[in-house]
Structure 1
Amino acid sequence: MNVINKVEHWGDLHRTKWLDIVRIALGLLIFFKGIALISNNDASQDLILQNNVFGFSGLMSSLVIHIVAFIHLVGGILIIIGLLTRFAVVIQIPVLLGAIFFVNLSKGFTMLNSELWLSVLVLLLLVLFWVVGSGPLSVDQSMMKKKFR
């Protein structure tokens, strides 16, 4: 636990405002991916059934899509506003790892697989915000300022 506290402390000391713009863009991307999963449920379900990684049936794949969409929607909003950012990022990481290893790698590890590269970039940004936290333009920061007044 000591290492995690040291990483969080380092992240709290090294915040920049331009990273908040990147955090907000990342949150928007994740939120809109959740909307896309819900609005295009049939294509997402076909993709999971094609790969058949865990032997999902139709009902189980639909449940997984709805859980992932819910995680993206809630986590995206939390990341956008900067509330419980580290928690929101941590709940996104397993979803992104699943997207990279089970969904996107089945299409091949090529330069043309833009969805894979986007997933890798989002995963790296999630790890970055897990370390540095929410930043100065966030609800977390404004709550900390009110707490110490």
Structure 2
Amino acid sequence: MNFRIGQGYDVHTFGDGDHVMLGGVRVPHERGIVAHSDGDVVIHALCDAMLGALALGDIGRHFPPGDPQWKDANSLLFLRHCNGLIAGQGGWRVGNADITVVCERPKVGPHADAMRALLAAELGIGLDAVSVKATTSERMGFTGRGEGIAAMAVCLLVKA
């Protein structure tokens, strides 16, 4: 088989701070993220999708949250590791990725193109192969109450 599909999901609660990291982009917000690393739900979900496509476990297996070396780490390091890891598993690469952020705030739309460009560049794929979009949960559940943020990702891996 010359392709594999993976899906990923990540969630973090809001805490003290003045921004959130989403898709490698610093997005101003009245709250920060409670997380061991920078808490970038977009990149964490994408990494899980990439790893899942090749049955390589999840992001927590590769970057344990209790490991002090990952404290406040930039999640782009995780993405770079996962991209290299899949390439080393027989020459796979991301064919495309589709990511959905779930939150009431911050507004993702004004930052989506910057996220797409950064993720595409990091993965070495075309801008037209990366989608970042957002939705709300209609004020229901933890995201609807503004307690946190979530992201879902699907990616297609293809043989390089």
TM category (shorter chain) comes to under 0.3
In terms of fraction of residues, the more helix-rich structure is 1
**TM-score scaled by length of structure 2:** 0.26
Structure showing greater radius of gyration is 1
Which has a greater percent of strand? 2
